Chain A
Amino acid sequence: MTEKKDILKNLYHELRKGTLVLAVLSQLKQKHYGYSLVESLNDKGLIIDQNTLYPLLRRLDNQGLLQSTWEVVEPRPRKYYQLSKLGIAVYKELKEEYYMNYQTISSLLKED
């Protein structure tokens, strides 16, 4: 029983990991700071840990998919993220790829 639970836990994790980047990119057409993005994703049903999202944002920023700026919003400075030109292009192609995969997998699962 525990073995099944562990296997499922790992598979859920892998399934989710692949789509997390797409989910985050989808929300960054508008400017967001980390905490507001966590809240926004949580409100839409995607529960994400802060210590997962922030490192992910930094990684995407380093890859050039996001552009980040520090803005002083009372009462303290805050780092905002938004899709860069490269990010928009990558997001578009990633989204198309996701839909294609989704349709393929859906038709496979319907055969079940």
Chain B
Amino acid sequence: MEYLERYLLQIGRHLNKKDREDTINELRDLLMENYENFDGASLNAEETMIQVIKNFGAPIDVASKYNSHEPLISKEYTPLFYLILKIISISLPGALVLANTIEYFTNTEETSIMNFLLNTAYMIPSIIQAVVMALAFLLLTFIILSRYVQPKFEFTEHEFNPKTLPPIPQDVLKAPMWESVIGIVGAVVFLYLFNLQPGLIAIYFEGNRIQLLNESFEQILPFFNISVFISLGLYIFYLYKRRKNFTTSTIEFIQGIFVGVIMIVLAQRDIFSPILIDGYDLAILPTIFRILLWVGGIGSIIGNVVVYIKVLFRKEDKK
């Protein structure tokens, strides 16, 4: 009955949160009734369920009938809206990155891959802002169209093949949207602070600022940057796909171990500036930070190993 659950999951994504569970449970019962009473002697169990689902309709069409409130964008306009949404979501960031790349290689005297990647990463907030504004404008346009303009084309229900329904992500492979957004924002903030404004990472005391990290940290920084770029790539992928897979879990595992090792290396190096404040003995602070780096490094390694073992076990279970 895997197809049934995959189908219900997709319907649920288009339902109001308030009635979602109740509607899904009722639909599960209804589809099982249809399955048990389906007249298809030549079909096996899986083929029967696929046929039942196909007869029932595309998830988005089914969900639209169960939602008690009218959607903001009418179902006649929905396919066109999603098509334009996809085009904008892909082409706008692509165009901005391309423009930035051309600008970087034509106007920068000393170019390097790391600088180029950093330059591109600093663009992410602008890209997000541009995409959000474009999508808001698109949404507004389609809401107005749905209210005041009757489309000339006739609405046809979506055709769909139940075999193409996305699989149900296992718990360990779920990638919630908020997690990806926080990850992207965190990565950009990290790159900005440590590469462009390292002076801000400091002890603030009575209007004075004492920089925390010395030049020794800068030798390790490129390795940290590599790790953050990998995270950034992963989070952007998760934001789009909303799920992890075996390959991304493996990359995440390697990246986690890599970060753990870097943190342990940092804990062993003298990366902190002397913190001198009259009347206070703050020699303990670098020691605390070192302990935290040790704990963080070992925690990152153990945590990633545990998560990856879980992924491997789930993979075996599925076989």
Contacts and interface: CB of A to CB of B under 8 A. Distances in A.
A35 B29 contact: yes
Contact of B19 (A33, A34, A58, A78): A58
B30 interface: yes
A54 B62 CA distance: 11
Contact of B66 (A33, A58, A70, A76): A58
Interface string B57-87: 1000010011010000000000000000000
B30 A62 contact: no
Name, among A50, A55, A79, the residue most crowded by chain B CB atoms within 10 Å (CB to CB).
A50
Contacts of A59: 68
A100 B294 CA distance: 85
A30 to B, nearest CB: 18
A18 interface: no
Main secondary structure of the interface of A (DSSP, over half): helix
Given A77-B25, A79-B25, A55 B30 contact: no
A55 B29 contact: no
B66 A78 contact: no
The size class of the interface chain B forms with chain A is: 10 to 19
A23 to B, nearest CB: 18
A59 to B, nearest CB: 7
The size class of the interface chain A forms with chain B is: 10 to 19
A52 interface: yes
Interface in B39-68: 56-57, 62, 65-66, 68
Main secondary structure of the interface of B (DSSP, over half): helix
B33 A35 contact: yes
Contacts, number: 40
A51 interface: yes
Given A51-B56, A58-B23, A76 B65 contact: no
Interface in B7-29: 19, 22-23, 25-29
A12 to B, nearest CB: 18
B33 A51 contact: no
A33 B68 contact: no
Contacts of B143: none
Contacts of A62: 68
B32 interface: yes
Interface string A65-78: 00000100000111
A54 B26 contact: yes
Interface of B: 19, 22-23, 25-30, 32-34, 56-57, 62, 65-66, 68
12 contacts: A50-B30, A51-B62, A52-B65, A54-B26, A54-B65, A58-B19, A58-B68, A59-B68, A70-B25, A76-B29, A78-B29, A79-B29
Interface of A: 33-35, 50-52, 54-55, 58-59, 62, 70, 76-79
Given A52-B65, A70-B25, 11 more contacts: A33-B29, A34-B26, A34-B30, A35-B29, A58-B66, A59-B68, A62-B68, A76-B29, A77-B25, A77-B29, A79-B22
